[in-house]
C-alpha cells in the first residue's frame, strides 16, 4: 500500500469537527512498574499498531508488531509488559485502506539519535540528585520580572567564553567561568545583571541539527519543531541516551534556580517542520492543521503550515505538552512564538490549566502572525486582544521601534537617535500600553489606541533574537556616528526599557554592544556570527555595571513596577513643556509605598545637551552609578543621548 501522507485530499471540516474528543490523561506511552500503556488518537483509522524495536542500533531490524485495539473516543490502545522498557517504538495506522508511514508518538518523551524512533522511558529515572526537593526562586507579580533572552549555543560557543561543554545545556549551567580578561561569563554574568528570568530559545527537539555530532549541520534557532516534549539532542552531551537529554536539561533548570534565576522556555506550537510527514497529519489527516480552500496547508507562520489550535485535540495537545514541561522540568514560564496564530479560547484555556498548577508562571507571546490566516481576526490571540487573554502578555513593538526606528527599514532612526516624531510611541511603552491622557495615540506607529488593561499584559523591549541587534541597528541607521555615540544611544535605549511600566525584556549581549556583523536574520548564520563575544564585556564592562544598577533600582522601587492601569494613570505625569526630542515625566511613589516619594525621569534623544526645569524640591540623584551626588534644584542639564533619574525622599 502507498503511504498515506502522499494523499492530497483532506476530510471536510464537517467530518473533522465530528471526531470524538478524548478526555483522559494517559495519551502517549505511560510506564508503570508492571506494564506499559500505549494510547494514540486516530478516529479515522481502521487499524493501528505499535512497532517495537530492540534498541537504538537496530538500523535494519524488523520490528515486533503489536496490534492496538480500539479505545474510547477515537483512541487506540496497546498494553505490554514492562520488560520491554528502554526499547524503541513507532506507530502506524491504516486509513481508507492506505497505510501511513511509521511515525513518532506525538506525546513521546524521548527519542533515539536524530529521532528515528521514540524510546520507552520513565522521565523520572533521569532526575538529578535533589530534584524532588528543588524549588524555583520566589516570584509574584509579572511586572517584577526582568527577562534575559538567550540561545543555548550562543552563551558558550565563543572561544573566549571560558565555558566547557560548548553549545550544550551543561554550558548554560556552567558557573565559575571567565573571559580572557578575567570578567565573569555565562550564568554568573547573567546573575550579576540582576535579571529574574532566563528566557531560552526553543529547547524542544527541532529539525536541522545532527544530534549525534557526526555531521555539523547549519546553525539553528530551533523554530522548526519536530518533537514537542523532547529536549533537543544537539544540546546534550550524550544524545544516544534518551534519558541524558532529560537529565541535563533538569540539571540546567536546577542550577539556574539555585542561582536565583527562573527559566522561561520558548515554545513553537504554531507550526511543524514538515506538516505532511508529521505524526499529526499521518495519524489524523487534516485535523491538526488549517487549510486553504484548495486543500493546501495555510501558512500564517511563514514556515509552510499553521496548526489549528481551535480544534479540541490540538488544544488538548498544547495544554498537555505545556503541563509536561512544567511538571517534569520545573520550568517557570513560556514565550509563545507567533501567538497570533492561536485562538483566544485556546490561550485562555492554557493560562487556566497552567495557573491551576503553578500560579506564578510567566506567560507571554508575539501578538501577531507572520502572514494571513484562515482564523478570523476576532478570534486571534493578538496584541489588540490581550485584555481577553487573562494572564498572558504580548510584546510591545510600539516601544521597540519607537526607541530604535522601524525594524522594516534599516536606515530608519528612532527616538534615541533624535527622531522626535517617535516620542509618542516611546510614551506608549512607558505607560505599558495602558490608557493615559498624555499619550497621543493618533501619533503611534502601529497601534490605534492602548490595548493593555494592566501593565503586566505588556513586554517592553528594544531588541530580541529577530532582526538586527540593537547595536547593529543603531550603527546602520546612524552612519557616520562613532562607537562612543552609538554606545550612548544604546545605554539610553536600555534605560527606557528598564524604567518603563510593564515587563522589561533584554536580549543577551545588549549590555556589551553585541553585534551580529550587520546580519539582520541570523537564524542560519553560524556560531561565528551568533556566539556572544565575551571579550566585549571587558571593553564595555561599564555598560554592564550600568544595566545591573538599573535592575537593582527597578527591584528596589515599586514606582517602576506598577500593577494596575489606574496606578499608571494616577501616578505618572509627563512634562509636556520638555524640549523637542526629549521625554520627561514625574512618578508619584508615595501612594505606592516607595521610599522615593517622587521620582523624576528624563530621556534626551537628541544629539545636544538639553535643559529641563525640575519640579520644586531638593532633588537627589537616583541612578545608582551617581547615587549620592550633590542635590539638584530648579534646572538640570541632560547630556546628548542621555538620561537622568532623580528623586525626593
The pair phi, psi for residue 109, each rounded to 5°, is -105, -15
Residue with grid cell 520491554, as numbered in its chain: 84
Rounded to whole angstroms, how far apart are CA atoms 357 and 354?
Answer: 5
Catalytic, out of 205, 366, 397, 401: 366
Catalytic, out of 56, 232, 306, 337: 337
Rounded to whole angstroms, how far apart are CA atoms 96 and 624?
Answer: 70
Strand partners, 619: 632
| 156 half-sphere exposure, CB direction, 13 A CA radius | 20
Rounded to whole angstroms, how far apart are CA atoms 24 and 262?
Answer: 31
SS3 326: helix
Rounded to whole angstroms, how far apart are CA atoms 607 and 458?
Answer: 30
Active site residue 337: yes
From residue 435, alpha-carbon distances to 381, 430, 569, 577, 619 in Å are 20, 11, 7, 21, 29
Nearest to 564 by CA among 478, 438, 435: 435
Rounded to whole angstroms, how far apart are CA atoms 646 and 633?
Answer: 11
The pair phi, psi for residue 314, each rounded to 5°, is -75, -40
Active site residue 23: no
Residue 56 grid cell: 537504538
CA of residue 25 relative to chain centroid, distance: 27
Rounded to whole angstroms, how far apart are CA atoms 30 and 49?
Answer: 16
Question: Is 95 in contact with 282 (CB distance < 8 Å)?
Answer: no
Residue 66 grid cell: 503489536
Catalogue the active-site residues. Answer: 337, 366
Amino acid at each position: 500500500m502507498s503511504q498515506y501522507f502522499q494523499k492530497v485530499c483532506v476530510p471536510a471540516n464537517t467530518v473533522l469537527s465530528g471526531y470524538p474528543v478524548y478526555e483522559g490523561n494517559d495519551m502517549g506511552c505511560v510506564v508503570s512498574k508492571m506494564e506499559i500503556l500505549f494510547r494514540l488518537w486516530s478516529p479515522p483509522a481502521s487499524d493501528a499498531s505499535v512497532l517495537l524495536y530492540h534498541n537504538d542500533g537496530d538500523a535494519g531490524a524488523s520490528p515486533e508488531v503489536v496490534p492496538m485495539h480500539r479505545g474510547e473516543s477515537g483512541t487506540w490502545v496497546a498494553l505490554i509488559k514492562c520488560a520491554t522498557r528502554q526499547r524503541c517504538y513507532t506507530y502506524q495506522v491504516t486509513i481508507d485502506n492506505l497505510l501511513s508511514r511509521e511515525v513518532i508518538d506525538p506525546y513521546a518523551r524521548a527519542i533515539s539519535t536524530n529521532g528515528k524512533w521514540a524510546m520507552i522511558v520513565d522521565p523520572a529515572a533521569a532526575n538529578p540528585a535533589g530534584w524532588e526537593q528543588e524549588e524555583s526562586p520566589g516570584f509574584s507579580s509579572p511586572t517584577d520580572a526582568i527577562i534575559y533572552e538567550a540561545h543555548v549555543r550562543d552563551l558558550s560557543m565563543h572561544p573566549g567564553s571560558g565555558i566547557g561543554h560548548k553549545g550544550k545545556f551543561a554550558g548554560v549551567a556552567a558557573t565559575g567561568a571567565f573571559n580572557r580578561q578575567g570578567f565573569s561569563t555565562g550564568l554568573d554574568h547573567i546573575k550579576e545583571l540582576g535579571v529574574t528570568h532566563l528566557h531560552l530559545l526553543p529547547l524542544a527537539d527541532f529539525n536541522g541539527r545532527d544530534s549525534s555530532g557526526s555531521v555539523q549541520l547549519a546553525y539553528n534557532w530551533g523554530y522548526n519543531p519536530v518533537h514537542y516534549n523532547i529536549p533537543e539532542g544537539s544540546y546534550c552531551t550524550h544524545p544516544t541516551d534518551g534519558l541524558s537529554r532529560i537529565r541535563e536539561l533538569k540539571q540546567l533548570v536546577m542550577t539556574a534556580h539555585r542561582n536565583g534565576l527562573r527559566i522561561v522556555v520558548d515554545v513553537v506550537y504554531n507550526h511543524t517542520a514538515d506538516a505532511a510527514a508529521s505524526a499529526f497529519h499521518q495519524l489524523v489527516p487534516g485535523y491538526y492543521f488549517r487549510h486553504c480552500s484548495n486543500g493546501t496547508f495555510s501558512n500564517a507562520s511563514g514556515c509552510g503550515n499553521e496548526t489549528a489550535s481551535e480544534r479540541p485535540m490540538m488544544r488538548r495537545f498544547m495544554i498537555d505538552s505545556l503541563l509536561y514541561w512544567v511538571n517534569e522540568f520545573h520550568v517557570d514560564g513560556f514565550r509563545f512564538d507567533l501567538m497570533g496564530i492561536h485562538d483566544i479560547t485556546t490561550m485562555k484555556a492554557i493560562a487556566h490549566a497552567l495557573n491551576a498548577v503553578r500560579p506564578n508562571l510567566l506567560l507571554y507571546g508575539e501578538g501577531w502572525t507572520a502572514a494571513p490566516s484562515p482564523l478570523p481576526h476576532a478570534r486571534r490571540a493578538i496584541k489588540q486582544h490581550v485584555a481577553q487573554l487573562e494572564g498572558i502578555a504580548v510584546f510591545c513593538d510600539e516601544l521597540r521601534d519607537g526607541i530604535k526606528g522601524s525594524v522594516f527599514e534599516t536606515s530608519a532612526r528612532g527616538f534615541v537617535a533624535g527622531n522626535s516624531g517617535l516620542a509618542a510611541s516611546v510614551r506608549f511603552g512607558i505607560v505599558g500600553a495602558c490608557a493615559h491622557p498624555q499619550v497621543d495615540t493618533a501619533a503611534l506607529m502601529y497601534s490605534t489606541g492602548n490595548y493593555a488593561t494592566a501593565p503586566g499584559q505588556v513586554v517592553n523591549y528594544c531588541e530580541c533574537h529577530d532582526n538586527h541587534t540593537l547595536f547593529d541597528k543603531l550603527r546602520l541607521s546612524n552612519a557616520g556616528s562613532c562607537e562612543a555615540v552609538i554606545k550612548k544611544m544604546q545605554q539610553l535605549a536600555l534605560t527606557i526599557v528598564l524604567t518603563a511600566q510593564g515587563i522589561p525584556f533584554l536580549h543577551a549581549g545588549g549590555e556589551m554592544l553585541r553585534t551580529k556583523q550587520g546580519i539582520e536574520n541570523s537564524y542560519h548564520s553560524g556560531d561565528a556570527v551568533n556566539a556572544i563575544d565575551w571579550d566585549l564585556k571587558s571593553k564595555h564592562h561599564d555598560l554592564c555595571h550600568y544595566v545591573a544598577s538599573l535592575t537593582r533600582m527597578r527591584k528596589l522601587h515599586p514606582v517602576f513596577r506598577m500593577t494596575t492601569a489606574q496606578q499608571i494613570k494616577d501616578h505618572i505625569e509627563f512634562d509636556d513643556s520638555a524640549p523637542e526630542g526629549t521625554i520627561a515625566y514625574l512618578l508619584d511613589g508615595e501612594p505606592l509605598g516607595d521610599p522615593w516619594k517622587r521620582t523624576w525621569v528624563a530621556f534626551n534623544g537628541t544629539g545636544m545637551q538639553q535643559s529641563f526645569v525640575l519640579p520644586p524640591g531638593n532633588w537627589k540623584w537616583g541612578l545608582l552609578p551617581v547615587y549620592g551626588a550633590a542635590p539638584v534644584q530648579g534646572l538640570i542639564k541632560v547630556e546628548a543621548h542621555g538620561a537622568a533619574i532623580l528623586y525626593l525622599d
